[in-house]
């Protein structure tokens, strides 16, 4: 029989309402709250970072290929085939953008027309359909954001007009609204409309002119590694860059969330450690008589330390288990029900995003347990200073 374990079990889980029982439960609760808060912090920050980044990637791809001086370039099928042969590349989409004025009845709005190949799926489509046309013809269709269509009161199926300024001359195109998209990012929803790539090429009188290529990567590949591999397949005066370089304000904000997460987790861990230290000191003070009696009966300091280490282990692991149950439970509840809603104009999404990474949960459990055990050793050093004679006076 493990004597130290049995003693620790009896004093930790007493059925009578004692001060020790209250302190043990309070410490378990504080540890559980800390662990649950850390799990929720990881899950929420992961969700924010993944959701916002995926919105940007869905619209522009993870990698953009363009001319080195930022001017328009010519579409090259040979280059496209070489890029597609690069292992990290999943899809390649040529695109071009141009400023224009959208007109419907008496209303007008300045927007950017993004030209993509016809029959290519449009991201964030929520109503209607994609732009379609024959392979060699130019589509006379357009996709607007839900917000823009609502602002100008344009129903699906209606005709709108786009006015382009090229070489000092205004050119007009009449297009039919066939679809609505919604990304949740105001900069995209209020500024961009989707048209056929060939439409803008025709306006520029060059059917091979593009602004660049939007490249999406396979999930398992790192962007920086992929960029280096793609760059090797490109001709001179052409450069591959991560989309992070084009929208630093968004990705800097994502990076700030990591700093906030780390600060929050550090604070919660410190609270948990201080709580456990205080708890163990109080429990040892309350058991001074027991310590003195066992010492007088010949118990070693090692045995007494084990008693309180076992007791601290009960508190720590029970708190960790409850914290994991609560933290993961709330995370899964939000993930599957979306019961916590957000202001989309401020956070770019309607629901609080959750993304649980199993390796992080394991890291939280192991780190909390390791820090707890290290902190437990400090109070137990005090046991050596207790003598049977002092315990009589202490009582």
Q: How confident is the model at residue 92 (pLDDT cuts 50, 70, 90)?
A: very high
Helices (H), the chain: 3-12, 19-60, 77-84, 146-151, 186-189, 197-203, 223-231, 248-286, 288-296, 301-337, 344-347, 358-380, 388-394
Mean pLDDT of 372-395: 62
Q: What pLDDT score was predicted for residue 194?
A: 94
Given the structure tokens 């001017």, which residue do they identify?
Answer: 71
Reply yes or no on whether the pLDDT at 366 is more than 70.
yes
Q: How confident is the model at residue 133 (pLDDT cuts 50, 70, 90)?
A: confident
Half-sphere exposure of 318 (CA within 13 A, CB side): 17
Q: What pLDDT score was predicted for residue 14?
A: 58
Provide the sign of the torsion angle of the four alpha carbons 346, 349, 353, 357, taken in this order.
Answer: negative
Residues of the chain with pLDDT > 70, as a percent, come to 84
Q: How confident is the model at residue 146 (pLDDT cuts 50, 70, 90)?
A: very high
Q: How confident is the model at residue 268 (pLDDT cuts 50, 70, 90)?
A: confident
Mean pLDDT of 336-340: 88
Q: What pLDDT score was predicted for residue 289?
A: 66
- Strand 169-181 with 141-145, pairing: parallel
Q: What pLDDT score was predicted for residue 342?
A: 85
Mean pLDDT of 75-98: 91
DSSP-based three-state secondary structure for 262: helix
DSSP-based three-state secondary structure for 377: helix
Q: How confident is the model at residue 176 (pLDDT cuts 50, 70, 90)?
A: very high
Give the tens place of pLDDT for each residue, 33-48.
Answer: 889 999 999 999 999 8
DSSP-assigned letter for residue 298 = T
Q: What pLDDT score was predicted for residue 273?
A: 81
Taking a C-beta distance cutoff of 8 angstroms, is the pair 355, 45 a contact? no
Q: How confident is the model at residue 166 (pLDDT cuts 50, 70, 90)?
A: confident
Please give the mean pLDDT across all residues of the chain.
Answer: 84
Q: What pLDDT score was predicted for residue 383?
A: 58
Mean pLDDT of 141-147: 93
The domain ranges of the chain are: 3-55+251-394, 70-236
Q: How confident is the model at residue 361 (pLDDT cuts 50, 70, 90)?
A: very high
Reply yes or no on whether the pLDDT at 102 is more than 60.
yes
Integer Cα distance of 180 and 193 in angstroms: 9
Q: Burial code of 239-266, b = ≥16 C-beta within 10 A, e = fewer?
A: bbbbbbeebeebbeebeeeeeebeebbe
Give the tens place of pLDDT for each residue, 3-61.
Answer: 666 666 666 665 555 666 777 788 888 889 889 999 999 999 999 888 888 888 988 89
Q: What pLDDT score was predicted for residue 27?
A: 81
Q: What pLDDT score was predicted for residue 300?
A: 63
- Of the two residues 68 and 313, the one the predictor is more confident about is 68
Mean pLDDT of 330-338: 91
Give the tens place of pLDDT for each residue, 202-251.
Answer: 888 888 899 999 999 988 788 899 999 999 989 888 999 999 888 888 88
Q: Among 13-22, 115-124, 155-164, 245-254, which is the least confidently predicted range?
A: 13-22
Reply yes or no on whether the pLDDT at 363 is more than 70.
yes
C-alpha of 333 from chain center: 17
Reply yes or no on whether the pLDDT at 308 is more than 60.
yes
Q: What pLDDT score was predicted for residue 272?
A: 79
Q: What pLDDT score was predicted for residue 2?
A: 67
Reply yes or no on whether the pLDDT at 321 is more than 60.
yes
- Of the two residues 62 and 344, the one the predictor is more confident about is 62
- Of the two residues 161 and 296, the one the predictor is more confident about is 161
Mean pLDDT of 301-328: 82
pTM over 0.85: no
């Amino acid at each position: 029989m493990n004597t130290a374990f049995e003693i620790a079990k009896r004093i930790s889980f007493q059925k009578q309402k004692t001060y020790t029982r209250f302190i043990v439960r309070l410490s378990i609760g504080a540890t559980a709250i800390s662990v649950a808060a850390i799990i929720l912090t990881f899950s929420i920050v992961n969700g924010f970072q993944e959701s916002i980044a995926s919105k940007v990637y869905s619209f522009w791809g993870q990698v953009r290929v363009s001319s080195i001086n930022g001017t328009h370039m010519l579409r090259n099928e040979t280059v496209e085939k070489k890029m597609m042969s690069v292992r990290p590349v999943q899809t390649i989409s040529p695109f071009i953008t141009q400023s224009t004025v959208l007109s419907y009845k008496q209303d007008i709005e300045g927007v950017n027309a993004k030209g993509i190949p016809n029959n290519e799926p449009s991201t964030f489509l929520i109503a209607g359909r994609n732009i379609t046309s024959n392979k060699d013809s130019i589509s006379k269709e357009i996709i607007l954001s839900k917000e823009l269509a609502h602002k100008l009161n344009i129903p699906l199926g209606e005709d709108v007009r786009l006015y382009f300024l090229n070489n000092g001359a205004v050119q007009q195109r009449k297009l039919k609204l066939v679809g609505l998209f919604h990304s949740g990012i105001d900069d995209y929803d209020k500024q961009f409309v989707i048209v056929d790539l060939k439409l803008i090429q025709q306006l520029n009188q060059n059917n091979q002119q593009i602004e660049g290529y939007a490249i999406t990567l396979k999930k398992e590949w790192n962007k920086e590694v992929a960029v280096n591999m793609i760059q090797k397949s490109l001709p001179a005066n052409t450069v591959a860059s991560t989309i992070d370089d084009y929208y630093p304000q968004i990705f800097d904000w994502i990076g700030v969330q990591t700093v906030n997460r780390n600060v929050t987790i550090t604070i919660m861990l410190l609270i948990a450690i201080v709580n456990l230290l205080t708890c163990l000191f109080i429990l040892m003070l309350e058991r001074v008589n027991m310590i003195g009696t066992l010492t007088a009966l010949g118990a070693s300091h090692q045995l007494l330390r084990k008693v309180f280490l076992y007791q601290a282990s009960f508190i720590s692991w029970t708190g960790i288990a409850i914290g994991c149950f609560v933290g993961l439970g709330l995370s899964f509840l939000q993930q599957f029900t979306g019961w916590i809603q957000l202001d989309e104009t401020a956070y770019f999404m309607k629901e609080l995003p959750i993304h649980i990474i199993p390796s992080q949960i394991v890291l939280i459990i192991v780190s909390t347990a390791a820090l707890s055990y290290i902190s437990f050793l400090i109070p137990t050093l005090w046991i050596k200073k207790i003598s049977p004679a002092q315990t009589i006076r202490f009582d």
